[in-house]
Structure 1
Amino acid sequence: MVGGMQIRTPACGPGRPGRPRSAAADTAILAATREALVELGWSKLTLGDVATRAGVAKTTLYRRWAGKNELVVDAVAELFGELELPDRGSLAADIEGVVLQFAAILARPEAKSGLMAAVAESTRDDALRERIRASIVDPQKDLVLEGRARAQARGELPAETDPAEAARTVDLIFDVVAGAVVHRTLVSAEPADEEWVRGFTRVLLQGLSPASAAPGPSDSPGTSDHSPGPSGD
């Protein structure tokens, strides 16, 4: 998260041997699932209702997904598959671009309903948590890797020599970005607009110290306008 459009295929379960799966049916089913989430909510959503909305047989759903949990995660994952890392010429601008996209997706009713419900259910279901990680989280971490590589090529970030440390850094960046945007949009219910995104990006890249407090090119440690002169005055 820190190109052309990169649509990632949700991690749907393996189909049974026989007739090939229909991409059109998958698309209709996932769209119907998001529609049902907005209208009915997690608790009232059923595979039968989704099948009716999608215009497919209920058995078609069961050939693709074991149950509602997996179906909802894949429907939400398709939304996040729209995320891309824009090349705006600098690390800060790239981060702002992808965070604005991320916030816009989270602002969509179907993303709000699906993601919050899936995360809540995953607290009691380890398999569902793993599916969320594989279908939603891991693909977005790829954007962090892409962004770091681009910034390193520009000379904005140093190259890493320790793969393990690099992986930990990617995890940390993803957690900071995703955690902040999810909390802002879904928990606080506040807009992640351009002003907020600029401030967030500044804190992410520079830390909490104001830019004016950073030493300038002519500054040197231990000197200031109030430093005593040679005579101690």
Structure 2
Amino acid sequence: MQNRTPAGRTGRPRNAAADTAILAATREALVELGWSRLTLGDVATRAGVAKTTLYRRWAGKHELVVDAVAELFDELELPDSGSLAADIEGVVLQFAAILARPEARSGLMAVVAEATRDDALRERIRASIVDRQLRLVLEGRARAQRRGELPPEPDPAESARTVDLIFDMVAGAVVHRTLVSGKPADQEWVHGFTRVLLLGLTARPGEPDGAGGPDKAAGRV
């Protein structure tokens, strides 16, 4: 787990075991109590640490919940299924399964709502969750390029924009489907989403994934 102490904060060295216990206790409290009833005092009791220990690590409840939820998304792994479409489907199904967990659902919805009026919290969400999971897009795209499914993108600035766009499209669709619409992101939905992501809206019904070759699929992402 990465050290997520806010920049500029000093003090005694972090205790990894205490951090693990605190974040696990936070997720447990989210399940049992929900966002509104969760308190740092309850988390400290569950984790078996002093309340001051939490305040040395996290400025408050919002930051603590962000980091507790971020650990769940660190469980995501990009499968090596042999094709870009299968890899995308595999990681999207994992993502949807995490969002279905009550601690992820209640925690993420709460901190995103709070972040609409808290720029520092919004930045923490970006750094702790979004930036750390961009690795999946980078890894998947590089693997697809080695397979010849996607063309190389030599311009670093354009490459970074593409990575951001892909992440936003995937994360936005799955979060909306599971947390806003409240509908299942099951295998059928994930397959259809992946097909539209790779082939675009003009793909003919029944057209197989990847039809038209890698250039066609890549050009419409």
1:206 paired with 2:199, answer yes
The 10-residue stretch of structure 1 (122-131 or 158-167) with the greater mean CA deviation from structure 2? 158-167
Q: Is the 8 A contact 1:83 1:98 kept in 2?
A: yes
Q: Is 1:190 the equivalent of 2:183?
A: yes
Instruction: Provide the rounded CA distance (Å) in 2 between the counterparts of 1:17 and 1:11.
Output: 14
Q: Which residue of 2 aligns with 1:104?
A: 97
Q: TM-score, normalised by structure 1?
A: 0.84
Partner of 1:222: none
Alignment equivalent of 1:17, drawn from 3, 11, 14 = 11
Gaps of 5+ in 1: 1-7, 218-233
CA distance in 2, matches of 1:119, 1:148: 28
Residue in 2 aligned with 1:72? Answer: 65
Structure 2 counterpart of 1:37, one-letter code: L
Change (3 A) 1:189 1:57: same
Is this contact kept in 2: 1:10–1:77, CA < 8 A?
Answer: no
CA distance in 1, matches of 2:103, 2:3: 16
Partner residue in 1 for 2:219: none
Offset, 1:213: 8.5
1:134 and 2:134 aligned: no
Q: What amino acid is aligned across from residue 85 of structure 1 in structure 2?
A: L
Q: Give the CA RMSD over aligned residues.
A: 1.8
- With normalisation by structure 2, the TM-score equals 0.88
Going from structure 1 to structure 2, the CA distance change for 1:92 and 1:10 (only over 3 Å counts) comes to farther
Which is richer in helix? Answer: 2
CA contact (8 A) 1:103 1:192 kept: yes
Pairing of 1:1-233 with structure 2 (within 5 A): 9=2, 11-13=4-6, 16-18=10-12, 20-211=13-204
Question: Whole-Å Cα distance in 2 between the matches of residues 141 and 211 of structure 1?
Answer: 31
- Give the deviation of 1:101 after TM superposition: 0.5
Residues 50-79 of structure 1: per-residue CA shift (max 9 Å, x gap): 101111111111111111111010000000
Q: Which has the higher contact order (CA 8 A, sep 6+)?
A: 1
Instruction: Quote how far apart the aligned CAs of 1:165 are.
Output: 1.1
- Please identify the structure whose Cα radius of gyration is greater: 1
* 1:230 alignment partner in structure 2: none
Q: Distance in 2 between matches of 1:13 and 1:64?
A: 8
Matches of 2:28 and 2:149 in 1, distance apart?
Answer: 43
Take 1:193 and 1:92, find their aligned partners in 2: how far apart are those partners? Answer: 15
Distance 2:23 2:40 in 1: 11
Structure 2, unmatched stretches of 5+, are: 213-221
